[in-house]
Amino acid sequence: MRKTIKVSNITCAQCAKSIESYFNNLEDMDAKVLVTSKKVIFNYNEEKYDTEKIGNHLRVIGYYPIFNNEEQEKAKKRDFIDLIIATLLTLPLLWTMFVHLGIPIYVPEILMDGYVQWAIATPILFYVGRRFFQATYHQIKGRNLGMDTLVVLGTSAAYIFSIFQTLTYDLNGHHAMPDLYFETTAVIIFMVLLGNFFENRVKEKTSESLQSLISLGAKEARVRRQGKDIMVPIDDVQKGETIIVLANEKIGLDGIVLKGKSYVDEAMITGEPMPAFKEVGSKVIGSTMNTVETLEIEVTAVGSDTVLASIIQTVEDTALIKPKAQRIADKIAALFVPVVVIISIVVFLTWRFVIDGGHELSHAFAPAIAVLVISCPCALGLATPTSISVGSGIAFKEGILYKGGEFFEIANKISAIAFDKTGTLTKGHPELSDFLGDKETLKFSASLEKHSNHPIAKAITDHYQDNYLEVENFEVLLGKGIKGDMHNETYYVGSPKLAKEFNLDLSAYAYETYLRQGKTVFFTFTSKEVINMIAVQDPIKESAKGVIKELKRRNITPYMITGDQELTATYIASQLGIEHVYYEVLPHEKAEKVHEIQKLGNIVAFVGDGINDAPALKMADVGFAVGSGSDIAIDTSDVTLMSLDLGLVIKAIDLSLATLKNIYLNFFWAFSYNIVMIPLAAIGLLNPSLAGIGMGFSSIMVVLNALSLKLFKFKQF
């Protein structure tokens, strides 16, 4: 069972590790955390766990699950109240900080009293800052220290030292305000909360594509139960039930049309602008819009089995992708806190006994606290998920779904792309391309083909727009054609081979020319004469030539791998400018051909329709599945292209490169920040309170940089 639960107080990668390590140690339970959208994806045995039990486990380790909008609003309200309390209590202490910094400004004498500052700082540390203590407890328990640990160490040290100073100086009958750091405790907690507040607002924008996806789903469906049509929540509809969808209503769930004809707008799934015609037996996708007439639909998928749920799951899983750089950063982050604590201790000892000669304890204390507070492992943890969340949102709007794997890392290394022909380079359905003969005779061809279910028959009937003749004694001539009686005459539609069996002269039609162009040729005739010739072809997609040309410009070698015959395959390849062609290849042999290309030293991508091309998609370094919503759950591809536009292959590669560059820029900022700021704090150039501001700023910068991906423009070619 898969369940996604929102958690209100997930702030960074260390929170994710704490949750994952706890749940992954439970039997029959797996958890993955989406930091940017504050969600946890659980996969579990539903016989052992349910939503309530999972919620209780989260609360045990200090995290608050949100199961409905009311709880979400409560969580937001709770965070906002904490921020208001912190603001009101911190401002008086912030006022005293100007004296600490040596700025000549009036400060009321009462605020300079150590006991007053102690009284103000206490609720900030232990009430407003309770979340940091809870998180630190579970981080220590899970041996996974993070930013919360640094906050607790820094603020507690400042608080305890200030109490000691207050009591000591009081015994001597005076106070020395510059030696107190109560304001540091307050300001650090306040700035972290303020930083989290703004960071959460920005993070919401990074996951808005996922939120818009979720909002597409229908909330209710009209279900027929015991002869009555009643509105029920989508979650209560069962597989096999009948739902009734009126015109201009969303289709609640995936299903098959039982009654009615209508046009359904599927643009949100397939990207196709024209509504699709649906009749009895047609498959429909949940959350698409019925536009014309009422449809009765048998539900075939509910919950996580629907197409929309599969898309949402894919987008969620993509945010969990970790390129090599992130995996390295995770290892560094695991060592980060212990190393920072050691540095802080070394800084304290150096200032205490070397630089300051053992005189003023407070002189050594300030830089040590600043080192703890300025350090920020969060930025390292946020570098990848924020960028991938934004990139995935942009991709989805273009009809691209990244599905994981190593695509982000190897997209720039692709040196060869192999294409399936039918349905990938071509449209996948034949169309009538040439007609030779009296146009009136097309009615004989179409009337016969109307009784056939062959794809070529559909090409002719789609082209023919007139009335059909009545056909008697219809018969399929396997491998040759069809025949039937009309107007007291037997008519045939068949291959040149069948026509030659009647010794008919075909020389006037020069049909070999059409065969060399990769077209399928057949004739309509009686036993005495040929009355017309029809040529049918699977047309090349409009975008195919441009894509092949652009790939060559980038020094990426295009290949074609098809099960079609040599004549058709080589002609299509020549039209597109593809020099490397494998033809008459069986589905299971396509993977072998991909492997052959790899053995030439290439990083190979394969583009196929995702059904019979599954072995090749799996064998390739990168698999692109081309198809509409029904193909969305294909496990073997790394990228799913939701429309038939081949240009999405180039766009997917370009956007992944932009995303990877954005990730690396995040890492550069995160590492540079810590490399520069920690030494500055160590040599005493950063006040601990200012360090708290810097820590919050670091994570916000990473998220803002990820949002800059929204400025990415796709190249036109």
Provide the pLDDT confidence category of residue 633 given band limits of 50, 70 and 90. very low
What is the distance in angstroms between the CA of the first residue and the CA of the last residue of the chain? 44
Q: For position 176, what pLDDT does the model report? A: 45
Which CATH architecture best describes the domain 400-427+541-642?
A: 3-Layer(aba) Sandwich (3.40)
Compute the chain's Rg from CA coordinates. 34
Nearest to 427 by CA among 269, 626, 577: 626
Q: Does the structure show a pLDDT above 60 at 203?
A: no
Taking residues 44-50, what's their average pLDDT?
A: 84
pLDDT at 149: 78
Query: What is residue 410's three-state secondary structure?
Result: helix
The type of residue at 693 is I
Report pLDDT for 605: 93
State the pLDDT at residue 210. 52
Report residue 480's pLDDT band, with 50, 70 and 90 as the boundaries: confident
| Range among 361-375, 483-497, 620-634, 689-703 with highest mean pLDDT value | 483-497
pLDDT band at 629 (very low <50, low <70, confident <90, very high): very low
CA atoms within 13 A on the CB side of 515: 11
Average pLDDT over residues 420-429: 81
pLDDT of residue 150 exceeding 70, the answer is yes
Q: Where are the domains of the chain?
A: 215-306, 400-427+541-642, 431-537
Q: What is the mean pLDDT of residues 318-346?
A: 70
For the 215-306 domain, the top CATH level (class) is mainly beta
pLDDT score at 486: 92
pLDDT by residue (tens digit) across 236-269?
A: 888 999 999 998 888 989 999 999 988 888 766 6
Q: Is the pTM of this model over 0.85?
A: no
Percent of the chain with pLDDT over 70: 81
Neighbours of 568 (CB within 10 A): 22
CATH class, range 431-537: alpha beta
> Does residue 174 register a pLDDT over 70?
no
Which pLDDT score is estimated for 692?
59
| Residue environment code for 25-63, b if the CB has 16+ CB neighbours within 10 A, otherwise e | eeeebebbbbbbbbbbbbebeeeebeeeebbebbeebbb
Lowest mean pLDDT among 91-100, 175-184, 226-235, 514-523: 175-184
Evaluated on CA atoms 134, 704, 413, 574, the torsion sign reads: positive
Q: Is 420 a catalytic residue?
A: yes
Q: What is the mean pLDDT of residues 590-608?
A: 91
Average pLDDT over residues 185-202: 72
pLDDT, the chain, mean: 80
| Closest to 491 in 3D by CA, of 518, 505, 511, 471 | 471
Q: What pLDDT does residue 442 have? A: 92
Of residues 164 and 483, the one with the higher pLDDT is: 483
**Active site residue: 82, 148, 179, 420, which one?**
420
pLDDT at position 583 is 86
Burial 572-595 (b: 16+ CB within 10 A, else e): bbeebebeebbbebeeeebbebbe
pLDDT at 612 > cutoff 70: no
Closest CA to 200 of 707, 703, 662, 708: 703
Checking if the pLDDT of 15 tops 60, the result is yes
Which pLDDT score is estimated for 360? Answer: 65
Over residues 693-699, the mean pLDDT reads 67
How far apart CA 554 and CA 559 sit, in angstroms, is 15
pLDDT in tens, 509-550: 888 888 888 788 889 999 989 999 999 888 888 889 999 999
CA dist 702 to 323, 373, 664, Å? 17, 18, 11
Mean pLDDT of 2-29: 79
pLDDT band at 175 (very low <50, low <70, confident <90, very high): very low
| 631 pLDDT more than 60 | no
Of 83-87, 103-107, 263-267, 360-364, the range with the highest mean pLDDT is 83-87
